[in-house]
Amino acid sequence: MRNKEKHVLVIFPHPDDESFGASGTISKFRSEGIPVTYLCGTLGEMGRNMGSPVFANRETLYTFRKKELQEASRKLDINVELLGYRDKTLEFEPLEELASHLKARILAWGGTTIITHYPGYGVHPDHDALGRAVVKAVEMIEPEARPEIWMHAISNDTEDQLGKPDFIFDVTPYWDKKEAAIRSHLSQADGMMKLIETQDKDSEHVQRLKMERFYRWTFTT
């Protein structure tokens, strides 16, 4: 592995997907000196949560979420690039156009490993649509130059359908960083933080956050 040239790209649609889904793994990469860049699809401006107590409204939510993402990325020591799509609309973007845009950004950053959502197992249409577009984007790159894709699957039937993940990281050593990153997303994270605080450290929910799992994508073309 040409470790010196490694660059991990995290490609998810919403500010906070990176913190909930992959911030332990991101912290592990950063501790190894590997650069990580988050290509964030939207600003999550259609999110249902407006803070608790409420501090945002439909018109102002994106400004808060943008700041929260900057705060989380500072804590995780990663770059952020905003891809500029609208929340809850990714499934309606033409796949070819979305994939071409992603391909250009993947090549521009020199991504060698990509973390995204497993299409069909993302439990949100934006997650599935962006994951699908990432696969398409990487398929557009000649096979010898393709980065690996690590898929984050969320739905409960994941292991029944796909078997055991290829990578299972116990991110307990990076838990402080993960918790701090989640906390940065103040408008969204309140429910989750309460859950973490009130639940037993060994509860299934907390354990799920502490074990980050990914499937390596197998290309068929």
Tell me the window of 9-17, 68-76, 85-93, 210-218 that interacts with Zn ion (CB under 5 A). Answer: 9-17
Nearest residue relative to Zn ion (C-beta) = 14
Tell me the window of 15-23, 46-54, 174-182, 212-220 that interacts with Zn ion (CB under 5 A). Answer: 15-23
Structure tokens at 12: 């998810």
State the minimum distance, in angstroms, from the CB of residue 13 to Zn ion. 5
Rounded Cα distance between 125 and 90, Å, is: 8
Question: What is the C-alpha R_g of the chain?
Answer: 17
The reply on whether position 87 binds Zn ion by CB under 5 A is no
Structure tokens at 219: 């290309």
The reply on whether position 14 binds Zn ion by CB under 5 A is yes
Rounded Cα distance between 150 and 215, Å, is: 5
The reply on whether position 30 binds Zn ion by CB under 5 A is no
8 A C-beta contact, residue 47 and residue 87: yes
The reply on whether position 128 binds Zn ion by CB under 5 A is no
Figure out which of the listed residues 11, 17, 137, 149 binds Zn ion, where binding follows CB under 5 A. Answer: 17
Residues that bind Zn ion (rule: CB under 5 A) add up to a total of 2
Rounded Cα distance between 35 and 198, Å, is: 34
State the minimum distance, in angstroms, from the CB of residue 21 to Zn ion. 8
Instruction: Pick between residue 13 and residue 165 the one whose CB is nearest to Zn ion.
Output: 13
Backbone angles phi, psi at 35, to 5 degrees: -65, 145
State the minimum distance, in angstroms, from the CB of residue 2 to Zn ion. 31
CA 126 vs. chain centroid, Å, equals 12
Tell me the window of 8-16, 141-149, 185-193, 206-214 that interacts with Zn ion (CB under 5 A). Answer: 8-16
Q: Which of 173, 11, 184, 158 is nearest to 81 (CA)?
A: 11
Residue 142: strand, helix, or coil: coil
State the minimum distance, in angstroms, from the CB of residue 33 to Zn ion. 28
Q: Which residues in this chain contact Zn ion in the complex, by CB under 5 A?
A: 14, 17
